[in-house]
Amino acid sequence: MFGFGREKGIVGLDIGSYSIKVVELKSKKKDGGETYELKKIGYEVLPHDAIVDGTIIDSAAVAETIKMVFDENKITNKNAVISISGSSVIIKKITLPYMETEELAESIIWEAKHNIPYPYEETNVDYAIIKPIREREEKNLDILLVAAKKDKIANYSNVINIARKNLTAIEVDAFALQNAFEVNYPEVFKEKTIALINLGANTTNIVIIEKGLPQLFRDLSIGGSFFAENLSKDLNMGFDDAEKALKSLPVNDIQAEQLQSVLDINIQSLLEEIEKTFVFYEASSKQEGKIEFIYLSGGLSKLKDLPANFEQKFNIKTEIFQSFRRISYDEDKFDSIYFEEMAPFFGVATGLATRKMEK
């Protein structure tokens, strides 16, 4: 069910709480490796409250938006891979003694029952070996255990059916983000310890990777909507105006100093939550546990001076994640300015689009 590998001919469909993003790529073999060219891309804002706290409330509106973004961007491929995240998705890194495949599958069921805070019968479970054993002497397997509540999967699968698309796989946001990073920053991915932070509307995904090996995944229930709600409450403005303010658009009767004061408080709350994850990682890491780079994506990453806020808090070089850094495109068909402005929004969709459908 979940995507750890990559499969051919799939549209990456990122159903966010604020917007729908779609990406279709064409893969090519080059110099013994693989490169990607952009075929189609699309972005469409969802009606307000169509998705609340990661749950699809208005399935018809979400399905209609999916159909719209496919139709308007002339995407004829109906094979889509989606992703999920949030409190209904659990990712745990576990270590087990080396064992054969059949025995391992039985052990995974036992581990799932003891590591997942939901009844096993209510979840779908998958796993992947992070680092294959090369020598029997190593004796241990590092494994990513993933579980998602069946009602969450049904909630998202249903809307794909209504939109008349073919659901080929369900990923996890964090894995899709990692795939996109590996494609676009291969030299950093293999050699450095990095934190990928995807700042969505309702959820912030954090992935920490050490030299190509994922070490920690965490979803925080904080994002752009949290900021907008606080701005709306503290500055007595409508939610729509609060969203405009987050995009640095002018809002009547609001002084820049007032706005910045509230934003600073919310940014501090965000950084403190992320700091807890960093401290946990450093305390549990077998290596030095030092994060060398931070890459920000998602809608909230566009907030003015946010990379500088991260650098000041953590003393770690921080930059915006460029989702199309190593993905070619026809400049006669696509606007390069669009990619510069929209790149942070497409991290998950791009990662999903790198999968390939099994033949």
Instruction: Report all structural domains of the chain as residue ranges with CATH numbers, in order of start.
Output: 1-88+149-185+325-359 (3.30.420.40), 186-322 (3.30.420.40)
Among 98, 170, 171, 172, smallest CA distance to 129 is for 98
pLDDT at residue 136 above 70? no
**136 exposure class (CB count in 10 Å sphere: 0-12, 13-18, 19+):** exposed
The distance from CA 180 to its chain's CA centroid, rounded to whole angstroms, is 9
Give the model's pLDDT for residue 113. Answer: 92
Work out the mean pLDDT of the chain and round it to a whole number: 90
Query: Residue 13 — φ and ψ, nearest 5°?
Result: -120, 105
pLDDT above 90 (res 328): yes
6 pLDDT tier (thresholds 50, 70, 90):
very low
Name the pLDDT band for 137 (thresholds 50, 70, 90): low
Between 245 and 42, the higher pLDDT residue: 42
pLDDT for 253 equals 81
Note if the pTM is more than 0.85.
yes
Q: How far apart are the first and last CA of the chain?
A: 16
pLDDT higher for 145 or 137?
145
Q: How confident is the model over 160-179, as a mean pLDDT?
A: 96
Kindly report, residue by residue over 245-297, the tens digit of the pLDDT: 888 888 888 888 889 999 999 999 999 999 999 999 998 876 666 999 999 99
What is the model's pLDDT at position 1? 53
Q: How far is CA 265 from the centre of its chain?
A: 25
Helix axes 224-234, 239-246, angle to 10 degrees: 120
Q: How confident is the model at residue 31 (pLDDT cuts 50, 70, 90)?
A: confident
pLDDT at 332: 87
What are the start-end ranges of the H helices in 15-168? 59-72, 101-115, 150-162
In the predicted model, is pLDDT for residue 25 greater than 50?
Answer: yes
pLDDT value of residue 359: 41
- Per-residue confidence at 28, pLDDT binned at 50, 70, 90? confident
pLDDT tens readout for residues 82-93: 999 999 999 998
Low-confidence winner among 144-148, 166-170, 328-332 (lowest mean pLDDT):
328-332
| Cα torsion angle, 292, 298, 299, 300, sign | negative
User: Kindly report the CA angle at 225 between 345 and 305, in degrees rounded to 5?
Assistant: 60
Residue 301 has pLDDT above 90, yes or no: yes
Element (H or E) spanning 39, and its range?
strand 33-45
Distance from chain centroid for Cα 199: 9
Q: CB of 170 within 8 A of CB of 74?
A: no
